[in-house]
Structure 1
């Protein structure tokens, strides 16, 4: 029996109240992301990408429709928070790093916050391994404030990988990077399924960034505009 999708959206709608008529940012989207796959979600600014990824990443509930993670219905805020913490990691355009901390400290930030049963020594070793994976093992002790934009995004990816996610979502991860660093960041993200088994979803407006994914789905005015084989 095959594993269920890491995340599955069924007839998802996201509306925002504005004046007399609500704005429908996501309009009946059905989409499944399989384990160990890479998916690019593309669309212009205002197409609904950010709202879609907020639902997919369990950062908000849909106005209507259903969300399942590894076959489990996400039907309450309590379930959403619990499932997200153990399953999903995010990488954002703006990095969201603690610039006064070192690379290693940023990568293992989850350990500092949760204070899990894992020893500090073990967590630091995992953080070092994640930094090595993104080519920053040599910079483990450096402060993030001393790094370039491309290096900071690589730290953000290492931090996401440290969480051992089954789903890694990157929202416009190359938006603040030059072409060389954008290519490097893309190669790291699209290598994650083979290296870690995580499914990867990259949200972008750039067709060059999207080209590295196993499949591409396009969102236009809140709806998916893709062939059936792209969205199943």
Structure 2
């Protein structure tokens, strides 16, 4: 941006006279150690925690649940192809381990993978009980055709016509993918299976009915996805 096109508060005029530099180390760290304040590292419940717990309990009474991570992985419905040849960038060197997702996932314009973690971040033996070696990665929905030119952008939602034309218009938020390396119980062969889990939030409508929606940013002025870069 050239100075003549910059807003006035962006232009920094130099001082008439230079200030004297502070002596090196004047504000420095003088000794190692010191006692940390436990309050700096204490997690505290948010103001919505109790209400969220009530909503989740209500929702669980009317929805079927997977019964935990082990059962969720037992029903993993997609297969990863190890040592595949696909490389969307065409220039990346081969890593020590290379996986390709299920075909439609590997070419999706909607979901962009970001954060990745595994049991190694939580347990020394790197195993999640009998579920074994598990990795997780987070993805966010970055492509919403139709939202940018919504005829009523203040509503921040897709029209019926846009949804019918392309479900991608619907902002789906963030999903976590659970990945498990295991031996197929039927064939005895090694395989890598995975399953997507959409993150959601609960709400109660004006009729006091509990429901849920994808975890995303506010509807106004146009609903935008939240990122999923931090995961542990």
Give the TM-score, by structure 1 length: 0.23
Kindly name which structure, 1 or 2, has the bigger radius of gyration based on alpha carbons.
Answer: 2
- Is the helix fraction higher in 1 or 2? 1
- Choose between structure 1 and 2 for higher RCO, CA contacts under 8 A separated by at least 6 residues: 1
